[in-house]
Amino acid sequence: MHYESANRVTLCATNEVADQLEDLQEVLGEGPGHTASTSGQIERCEVPGDAPSRWPLFVEAAREIVESALVVAVPMHSDTSVLGVITLYQSPQSRTPLSLARHDLQFLADVVGTALVNDQDAAAPDLAGGPWASRARIHQATGMVVAQMKVSPEDALAVLRAHAFGQQSTLSDIASAVVERRITFSGR
């Protein structure tokens, strides 16, 4: 699923840094995971990195989350389509280097993608909690912005992302504020 998709959801993050890096890519619309979802190829990004980055906004903002890291995004394939992306990050302090060969990383990601597609229990959304609840809140907030601003759902989601970026917040937090009517876009 592409990062631009309104149905995009982060199923799991191993820790707060991973969660923040993932949300950052969604808010900014750039980063290795974002590119891997469209290119279908493994993407690597060093934060801060020696050379100019393909994702300058992501690298700059990621430095506020983690001083230094290697971020690797591996697309999960089903035949020729990309089902999703597994994003890995490693800090220099890590004792276990991310040293799998590219074809091994790709094979493992494809196996995980196939397992997720075939696991009906994992595919069924639990709207009471977890990542689906956050996504449901984003959908609800998007609808509220559509009604308030009289714009398309795509533009409403872009407004929410821009607001999250401008407030240095997460998309989920901004969506909650809209749903709870702490933020409105009606001009009243």
Domains of the chain, CATH where assigned? 16-123 (no CATH), 130-179 (1.10.10.10)
Q: Report the mean per-residue pLDDT for the chain.
A: 82
The DSSP 8-state label assigned to residue 29 in this structure reads T
Tell me, yes or no, if the pTM score tops 0.75. no
Q: Which residues is 88 bridged to in the sheet?
A: 72
CA–CA separation, 139 vs 145, rounded Å? 10
List b or e across 144-168, with b for residues whose CB sees 16 or more CB atoms inside 10 angstroms.
bbbebeebeeeebbbbbbebbbeee
Span 153-165, average pLDDT: 88
CA–CA separation, 155 vs 77, rounded Å? 29
Q: What is the 3-state secondary structure (H, E, C) of 55-115?
A: CHHHHHHHCCCCCCEEEEEEEEEECCEEEEEEEEEECCCCCCCCCCCHHHHHHHHHHHHHH
Banded pLDDT at 127 (limits 50, 70, 90): very low
Span 49-53, average pLDDT: 78
